[in-house]
């Protein structure tokens, strides 16, 4: 079975997170899980990230948008990742977690 375009985005994203040494996981939906939570949750250098992976022109659902906004309001970073930006996510993560005092 071939990877779907969205699965390819997720794999590229996770490869970058692994290379950075970031903590990450895929939230399990269903049962007691909350709907609309981003596809990949990550912590890097004490910062919280939520990544919603999409392919092509797909957009987040209303519930996903609500969760993205809630993460941002709480001080975290929430990003919609697709083929256009997945290759530079590691650069972005490093930029927002760079501490000039280090």
Fold of 5-97: Trna Endonuclease; Chain: A, domain 1 (3.40.1350)
Q: Give just the sign of the alpha carbon dihedral 37, 15, 46, 92.
A: negative
Phi, psi (rounded to 5 degrees) for 28: -90, 120
Cα-based distances in Å from 46 to 12, 76, 96: 22, 10, 11
Nearest to 50 by CA among 21, 91, 22: 22
Residue 81 parent element (H or E): strand 77-81
- Per-residue pLDDT 10s for the chain (102 aa) are 568 899 999 999 999 999 999 999 999 776 666 788 999 999 999 999 999 999 988 999 999 999 999 999 999 999 999 999 999 999 899 988 886 544
Quick check: 49 and 55 in contact, CB under 8 A? Answer: no
Whether the model clears a pTM of 0.75, i.e. scores above it, the answer is yes
């Amino acid at each position: 079975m071939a990877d779907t375009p969205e699965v390819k985005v997720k794999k590229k994203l996770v490869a970058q997170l692994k290379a950075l040494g970031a903590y990450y996981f895929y939230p399990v939906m269903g049962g007691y899980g909350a709907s609309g939570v981003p596809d990949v949750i990550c912590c890097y250098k004490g910062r919280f990230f939520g990544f919603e992976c999409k392919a092509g022109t797909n957009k987040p659902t209303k519930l996903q948008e609500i969760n993205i906004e809630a993460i941002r309001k709480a001080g975290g970073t929430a990003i919609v990742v697709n083929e256009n930006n997945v290759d530079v996510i590691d650069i972005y993560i490093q930029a927002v977690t760079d501490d000039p005092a280090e």
